[in-house]
Amino acid sequence: MKIFHITWEYPPNIVGGLGRHVFYLTKYLAKLGADVHVITTDVEGRGFENIEGVKVHRVDPFTLKSIDFITWILNFNYLMIVKVLELVDEVGEPDVIHVHDWLTAYSGIILKHVLKVPLVTTIHATEIGRRGGIWSEDQRIIHDWEWRVTYESWKVVVCSDYMIGEVGRVFMLPPEKIVKIPNAIELSDIERFEPEPGLKEKYASPHEKIIVFVGRHVYEKGPDLLVEAFNILINDFKRGDVKLVIVGDGPMREHLVSMVHKYGLRDKVYFTGRISDKELFSLMKVSYVGVFPSRYEPFGIAILEAMSCGLPVIVPRHGGPSEIIRHGVEGFKISLDPREIAERIRQLLDDTQLRDLMSVNARKRVKKLYTWDRIARFTLEVYRSISKEAKEKDWKHLWKRIPEKEK
């Protein structure tokens, strides 16, 4: 089976979790015998590569000059279309085209109709979900592209039951069009990194237990809620035996730093910025608990990474994270109340036996449910089912006028 993945993100161009997702999914699909081609961006003049059986074809959109971001995206998609048509001349048509989020929606839709090949779209997050609504013209355009690509797709893939509800509601999709395929992590990449001697002391004093947050410093990830909770832990609960380590970067960074200064926590909070996987996983392995108080989170790969490193996790009781863990087994589910977050952290600090039991349970759950081999096998079955249906379908009806989206 031949599959074309069209994606904006792919190593070494990693902005968020999407690039890692496509990298590992395609790698394991290739291991299962699929003929996998990735069409993506070129950031280092690489052109074509064969990466662990995945044929990677790159275009360079960074030389494009456009009057605005949306126009640049359309021009970038044009380059993707040209690359795919050239590739079809070389290797033949794919059985399935798979695009990820709105950034490659335009190319996916056009190629579906030109090649008469079924389109699959993974919606990793929606613009309405990320922003809490539509507040600008660019956001409206992005939302419209999301709607159109989900309309055009044979199947829409999401990572959680929470996202099934969201895309069904936001894009008016029938349930039978949506398929849930969870995210996963590459356990071998995490297990091969062991903390170097003295690593913990880089971040904290020997007597301090590390509370770790990993994520972009943006409103939807809730790092400000954790700083509020940490202030309660230090100044109300009088816990001097802890250190908060915040990993990542983003537009809220300065605001978080100002909060830390306001609460007098400069000696108790460490901002790492962006760090390598080796340093991240090593840090997680010397930490005590991971806290991820997201306001909006379709899934949460960083949560899986923390669990695989043996961390109990504190996550919101809404959204994708609430489906990953069982309350009181691998961690705690909380509301977005900073005091409740602080109380759950204190509970784990006071009960090391419970913390250690959750650590063992967390590792077991990831190994049982969230490996890429398992996810790739299920994805391949979805592709086969779609390909079979498409070959039995009369494609002429697909050229009819697309209905207007309901206002």
DSSP-derived letter for residue 336 is S
Whole-angstrom distance, CA of residue 266 vs CA of residue 276: 24
Considering the domain architecture, whether residues 165 and 205 belong to the same structural domain is answered as no
pLDDT at residue 123, as a whole number: 95
pLDDT at residue 404, as a whole number: 56
Considering the domain architecture, whether residues 165 and 311 belong to the same structural domain is answered as no
Whole-angstrom distance, CA of residue 333 vs CA of residue 344: 9
User: What is the model's pTM?
Assistant: 0.87
Considering the domain architecture, whether residues 138 and 273 belong to the same structural domain is answered as no
Residue of 284, 272, 268 lying closest to 233 (CA atoms) = 268
Question: Domain range for residue 378?
Answer: 2-184+372-399
CATH number of the domain that residue 72 is part of: 3.40.50.2000
Considering the domain architecture, whether residues 211 and 133 belong to the same structural domain is answered as no
pLDDT at residue 397, as a whole number: 60
Helix axes of 137-152 and 105-115: crossing angle, nearest 10 degrees = 30
Distances (CA, A) of 72 to 46, 57, 124, 182, 378: 21, 20, 22, 31, 35
Residue of 47, 51, 102, 49 lying closest to 77 (CA atoms) = 102
Considering the domain architecture, whether residues 31 and 141 belong to the same structural domain is answered as yes
Considering the domain architecture, whether residues 42 and 176 belong to the same structural domain is answered as yes
Element (H, E) at 332: strand 331-334
Residue showing tokens 């695009």: 99
Considering the domain architecture, whether residues 155 and 234 belong to the same structural domain is answered as no
Total domains, the chain: 2
Considering the domain architecture, whether residues 195 and 260 belong to the same structural domain is answered as yes
pLDDT at residue 14, as a whole number: 78
Whole-angstrom distance, CA of residue 395 vs CA of residue 403: 17
pLDDT by residue for the chain (407 residues), tens only, comes to 999 999 998 988 777 778 889 999 999 999 999 999 999 988 777 788 999 999 999 998 777 676 788 888 888 899 999 999 999 999 999 999 999 989 999 999 999 999 999 999 999 999 998 887 888 888 999 999 999 999 999 999 999 999 999 999 999 999 999 999 999 999 998 999 888 888 999 999 999 999 999 999 999 999 999 999 999 999 999 999 999 999 999 999 999 999 999 999 999 999 999 999 899 999 999 999 999 999 999 999 999 999 999 999 999 999 999 999 999 999 999 999 999 999 999 999 999 999 999 999 999 999 999 999 999 999 999 999 999 998 887 765 655 555 555 54
Element (H, E) at 144: helix 137-152
